[in-house]
Amino acid sequence: MAGRAEGRAGGTGAGAGSDRLASESLLTIGQVVERLRESCPEVTASKLHFWEREGLITPRRTPGGHRLYCPADVERLRLILELRTHRRLPLETIKALLQRMEEDPTYRFLVMERTLHEEAFDPAFHPLSRSEAAAQAGLTEAQVRELEALGLVLPCPKTGRFDEEAVHLLRVLAGLLAMGFTPEDLRFYARWAQEVARHERALFAGLCQDGGEEAERMARYQRFRQLVGPLLRLLHLNYLRRTLYDLLGSPEQGTEG
């Protein structure tokens, strides 16, 4: 069971004071290891010490030097374990991802999504300005601005810069523009994505009505996306199959419209 930290306990986090620490449920390293072993049996105290030396986690300390971990620290460790043990990412990459999440809170969502897929993280990538992103995608700044205005690409709301996901999206859009489509032709994709996102948020909110710890909500979200992702993809493919077969010269006959 987690114990309450005494008011005299110190902390390494920014602005961490005795009043704040006293109000939080803090865990010792042994308690953290016990919790994490439920989902990752190979975790050890020495592994947590090593990650601390590598700058991945910074627990608070008591006046006697004992480590104390707040709930946010535990969730950070869960994410490190997910990326390290399941995705086999190097610590350098994980550290870069954690730093980006601190700079842009919305980046955490992208990291969670990518744990479901086999996409690669590039620790050397730094978010680009609009002009840099345009150059990377083979577009002009004016074109990127138009795509932004239509909701087809979204820079970081905090910095206005473009992460690797946005740059990849710009390259895809550049390819479609090169085929002769206009940004306005593609606008419905943004509207469709927004509508799907709103409905998925409503669906997922129903799963969170009973509360639960952040780790439980994250596990539910991952399971939700593992099922909804294929649902969306397969439905889309099936409707395409039934609406485009005549244009593609398919021999299939008698398919319902």
What pLDDT, in 10s, does the model give residues 108-158? 766 666 655 555 556 667 889 999 999 999 999 999 999 999 999 999 888
Instruction: With a cut of 70, list the residues of the chain below it in pLDDT.
Output: 1-24, 106, 109-124, 211-212, 214-215, 249-257
178 near 213, Cβ under 8 Å? no
pLDDT at position 114 is: 62
50, 74 in Cβ contact below 8 A? no
Tally of CB atoms within 10 A around 233: 10
* Whether the Cβ atoms of residue 155 and residue 161 lie closer than 8 Å to each other: yes
Q: 128 - beta bridge partners? A: 162
Closest CA to 127 of 83, 172, 91, 158: 158
Calpha distance 152→184 (Å, rounded): 10
Give the three-class secondary structure for 26: strand
Query: Contact, 173 vs 118, CB < 8 A?
Result: no
The string of pLDDT tens digits covering residues 86-119 is: 777 888 888 888 887 877 776 776 666 665 555 5
Domain map (residue ranges) of the chain: 3-114, 125-202, 208-248
Can you give the pLDDT at residue 39?
78
pLDDT of residue 10: 40
pLDDT of residue 11: 41
> Spelled out in words, what is the top-level CATH class assigned to the domain 3-114?
mainly alpha
SS (H, E, C) 134-192: HHHHCCCHHHHHHHHHCCCCCCCCCCCCECHHHHHHHHHHHHHHHCCCCHHHHHHHHHH
User: How far apart are the C-alpha atoms of 21 and 5, rounded to whole Å?
Assistant: 6
* Distance (Å, whole) CA 165 – CA 182: 21
- Per-residue model confidence (pLDDT) at position 209: 77
pLDDT of residue 164: 86
The architecture (CATH level 2) of 125-202 comes to: Orthogonal Bundle (1.10)
Model pTM greater than 0.85? no
Contact 69, 26 (CB under 8 A): yes
At 148 the pLDDT is 97
User: What percent of the chain clears pLDDT 90, i.e. is strictly above it?
Assistant: 41
